[in-house]
Structure 1
């Protein structure tokens, strides 16, 4: 399938046009005091013609057979392209956390670093984070390293997602 720039995409977003669409797959996660887990993951990037991408991610904890056990994390946000291949990303989580990320893109490779975060009084406090998104063998690879609740920055979740036909 040949890739085309989505109709109506703001010109500033052309370098990220490869992200636009719905991606689904599976991933794994772990963290101190959290037993390792597998999850189903869906990520959606879309646009409305303005100079930002809308972002939505949701996941479900799954068993060894891939059957859904329960809902897991959900997040929504906006991705803004700035000069010199800089990205500014805003993400809010269903767990009471909102974050600002800053990073770089180089073709189909995106690296983001947590710039600032806010945690609601009942939410965990995330003190550092690194996100990686990349196109690997036609799939969207995602990895998130996190420092939270007194832990040092370390691997937390990662997934590989296939583009879905519209």
Structure 2
């Protein structure tokens, strides 16, 4: 269901494969499995037992991702819901199989980001390992505002946080990195987070299928906007 949207700016052409509505499943790090922040133990390290390492555990979730053209940028909204398993979890499920076997629960998080392509169109990447530079900014319900820098190389994207602002009660995470890729027609993505004083750990993964084109997403958004404005033509 991949179609080039009618309003696609030329400068966003390298992101065209990502546009549309995607749905599927993923995993999130279960509460308490992210490593804690380091503390100063120089005065009592000899008397305190070594802290046990926390085993990572991941819970299945459902995900909804929309990527649409907004002016000269791409807007991406990701919603993650608790997953209620109808049967035993299989990590090899396709996106469609995950949707069939996982029922949506409460909303865990919602995040909206705005993407810009910084590399001028006149600059042609020299090889497969050189892509177009991305600048992404956004925030979400978890209490983070993040400025990202990254690169898109064909149907692959790598992002790393350039600056992170945390709300007072947000988790003590200092850096993030993300990867997106189109594999066999499905969108695979993963996000890593770095706790204060720690190392990168996988925080969330996703495996999604496209369920609507970019034009269909834009039409739905337009109808919703007219309805909110009380447009009588929106019947």
> TM-score, normalization: structure 1?
0.91
Q: Does 1:76 align with 2:109?
A: no
* Cα distance in 2 between the residues matched to 1:96 and 1:130: 17
Q: Which residue number corresponds to residue 206 of structure 2?
A: 159
RMSD between aligned residues: 1.6
Instruction: For residue 89 of structure 1, report the CA deviation from its aligned partner.
Output: 0.7
Instruction: For residue 31 of structure 1, report the CA deviation from its aligned partner.
Output: 5.6
**Bigger proportion of residues as helix:** 2
Which residues of structure 2 form unaligned runs of 5+?
Answer: 34-56, 87-101, 120-130, 217-235
Instruction: For residue 164 of structure 1, report the CA deviation from its aligned partner.
Output: 0.4
* Cα distance in 1 between the residues matched to 2:80 and 2:28: 12
Q: Does 1:43 align with 2:65?
A: yes
* Cα distance in 2 between the residues matched to 1:129 and 1:96: 14
**Bigger proportion of residues as strand:** 1
Q: Does 1:61 align with 2:67?
A: no
Greater C-alpha radius of gyration: 2
Which residues of structure 1 form unaligned runs of 5+?
Answer: none
* Cα distance in 2 between the residues matched to 1:89 and 1:126: 18
* Cα distance in 2 between the residues matched to 1:21 and 1:43: 8
Conserved? CA contact 2:148–2:160, under 8 Å:
yes
Which of structure 1's runs of 4+ aligned residues deviate more than 2 A? 148-151
Conserved? CA contact 1:128–1:146, under 8 Å:
yes
Conserved? CA contact 1:46–1:55, under 8 Å:
yes
Instruction: For residue 162 of structure 1, report the CA deviation from its aligned partner.
Output: 0.2
Cα-to-partner distance string for 1:62-107 (whole Å, 9 max, x where unaligned): 1222122321111011011111600011120102111011011100
Q: Which residue number corresponds to residue 118 of structure 1?
A: 165
Cα-to-partner distance string for 1:129-154 (whole Å, 9 max, x where unaligned): 11000101001111001112544211
